[in-house]
Amino acid sequence: MKFDLAYCLSLDDKLSIYDVRDLNFDETMAFDSAKEHFQCPNDACRPAFDVANELGTFNAKNVNYVRTPHFKNLPSTRHVEGCPYVSLKTQASGVEETDDSREEHFPSELLLTRREYGRKPSSPKIMADGVRDESLTLSVTSNVEQPSRELAPDKTSVFAHPVECFVSNFDDKDLLKRVPLKIGEHTAPYGAFFKKIEYLQDNKGLIYWGKVKEIKDYTQSFRIDFEKKVWFEKKPYSVNVYLSKKLIDSYRKRKAFLEEIKHAIESGRELYCFFYGVTPELKQVPSKKNPEQTFGVFSANIENLDHFIVREAPGLDGK
């Protein structure tokens, strides 16, 4: 049993590992997962132990990860009997769980409105061991009507989560055909919601993905060129998306985003780009050599950086 969620002590809420990553990189939130305390999400298990009974994290702070992020049992983590989060492996061998895994928890919906995480107002709270937890008196952010309460556990507002489901289960075509994903008004199996960039004309409003050919760093924007071309009226056209630097500068995860782009430009690795929210369309742009001439290209401006990812995805190579 892997952890879909973990209880975060200071937020008094259950988070996915993707929520944790989002919070770590969010420059408007004071949050560092290395200093937070995560515990078993099972409400029947957690109170049986004191607050020192914690879970660990894997790839919670690594901007450019390859292996699936997750919560894990530490060798010291204990659960009550019958808790589904007991690690059988750990129990049997005493060895820590391996970090090799694929994402097993498929969110049924990507919510386009970002989840708000509010720290609890500083009310005295007696913990299981009778000690008042000081972390609860930390800065209180606006905590309006607990919007996160409406978030069902199988929904997410972090784009990286469904993308990781798709990438880490890419070889299991049946599974991707079976599990549905909803975004906005549109529902389709994961395998159909993720559309190869060369087939973008098939349907609008999907998650498009493809191998990155090159990233160009311009004064006001980055341009991501895709390797594959789109065929339209028997002619091949290049595909690209633009990222406005103005948009990046005002982004709440600016530093992490620039690190992701910098890595993409410099790493020399094979990278894949995933985006949602815009569909590249055929445009005529002036040729550099002959400004009088124009040529056609399928292009779009990314409007929301929360729905854009460039990452390594070894399982997709050559596909």
Give the C-alpha separation, 220 to 247, whole Å. 10
Cα distances (Å, whole numbers) of residue 205 to 20, 44, 222, 266: 27, 41, 22, 31
Long-range contacts of the stretch 311-314 (C-beta < 8 A, 24+):
311/64, 311/65, 311/163, 311/167, 311/260, 311/271, 311/272, 311/274, 312/64, 312/66, 312/267, 312/269, 312/270, 312/271, 312/272, 313/167, 313/170, 313/271, 313/272, 314/66, 314/270
The minimum distance between CB 45 and Zn ion, in angstroms, equals 3
What is the distance of C-alpha 66 from the center of its chain?
Answer: 12
Residue 315 has what DSSP assignment? G
Looking from the CA of 173 toward its CB, the CA atoms found within 13 Å total: 2
Give the C-alpha separation, 262 to 264, whole Å. 5
The minimum distance between CB 50 and Zn ion, in angstroms, equals 14
The minimum distance between CB 56 and Zn ion, in angstroms, equals 14
Q: 17-25 and 254-266 are packed helices; what angle lies between their axes, rounded to 10 degrees?
A: 100
Angle at 194 between CA 111 and CA 147, to 5 degrees: 5
The minimum distance between CB 87 and Zn ion, in angstroms, equals 10
Give the C-alpha separation, 3 to 197, whole Å. 32
> Which chain residues interact with Zn ion by CB under 5 A?
40, 42, 45, 79, 83, 85
The minimum distance between CB 158 and Zn ion, in angstroms, equals 24
The candidate with the shortest Cα–Cα distance to 241, out of 195, 184, 300, is 300
Smaller CB separation from Zn ion, 71 or 190 = 71
Smaller CB separation from Zn ion, 7 or 159 = 7
Smaller CB separation from Zn ion, 41 or 280 = 41
Give the C-alpha separation, 25 to 32, whole Å. 9
The minimum distance between CB 174 and Zn ion, in angstroms, equals 31
Smaller CB separation from Zn ion, 42 or 221 = 42
Smaller CB separation from Zn ion, 86 or 197 = 86
Smaller CB separation from Zn ion, 24 or 87 = 87
The minimum distance between CB 85 and Zn ion, in angstroms, equals 4
Smaller CB separation from Zn ion, 42 or 57 = 42
Smaller CB separation from Zn ion, 2 or 229 = 2
The minimum distance between CB 153 and Zn ion, in angstroms, equals 15
Contacts of 318 (CB under 8 A, 6+ apart): none
